[in-house]
Amino acid sequence: MHTLEPHFNWRHLYQAEKDQRSPFFGRTYSEFYFSERVYNYLLHPQWDNFGSETLYAKILYADYNESFAIIELIGEWNDCINDDMMHLKENLLDLMLEEGIRHYIFICENVLNCHTGDDDYYLSWHEELEDIGGWTAVLNVLPHVQEEMLNGGLQYYLHFGERMNHIDWRTLKPKHLFERVRSRLGLLLE
């Protein structure tokens, strides 16, 4: 896992550590010192810790005018042991929501498992976004992780599944990805 870096092709467009409105503003990164880990596996130092011991994030892009953010995740989504959704909501999503972000795209191809727990944080997050016309889409989920998400009932709060999988997002610019996801969600919500 230490060789898996967050997506870097949009760094000329956005860097969370240089964005004063970002929860990660002012962070500095090492290319050589590996301090974060998921269990016994070291992570590349470019990933951001938001309070979870098993799930890490990288804000790849945030657009405050269009009110959307693209966030890449890596690790194990584990609400049973680590309350990952609580940490994600309180330490990242709520802060971005205060800055006007109401559409969230999670890239989850490096999320290896999903163990859901209580749905309180998902319900709260979903209701907050629904009240302001927002949504959360989850892209490129591994098949077994999608099954775990379905078994946990996350389809009631997050948009994921076949229409959100297999999007070749790396070939798109952030705004084009947002438009593609929004278009696919329109098909899902009709």
State how far the Cα of 37 lies from the Cα of 33, in Å rounded to an integer: 12
| Domains of the chain with bracketed CATH | 47-189 (3.30.750.24)
DSSP-assigned beta bridge partners for residue 69? 62, 104
Token pair 């947002």 in the structure block, residue: 178
Residue 190 to residue 185: CA distance in whole angstroms: 9
**H or E element at residue 41:** strand 41-42
Nearest to 22 by CA among 75, 58, 65: 58
Residue 3's pLDDT band, with cuts at 50, 70 and 90, is low
Q: Given pLDDT bands bounded at 50, 70 and 90, which one contains residue 181? A: very high
Per-residue pLDDT of 54-84, as tens digits, reads 999 999 999 999 999 999 999 999 988 888 8
- Burial class, 179, CB count within 10 angstroms (exposed 0-12 / middle 13-18 / buried 19+): middle
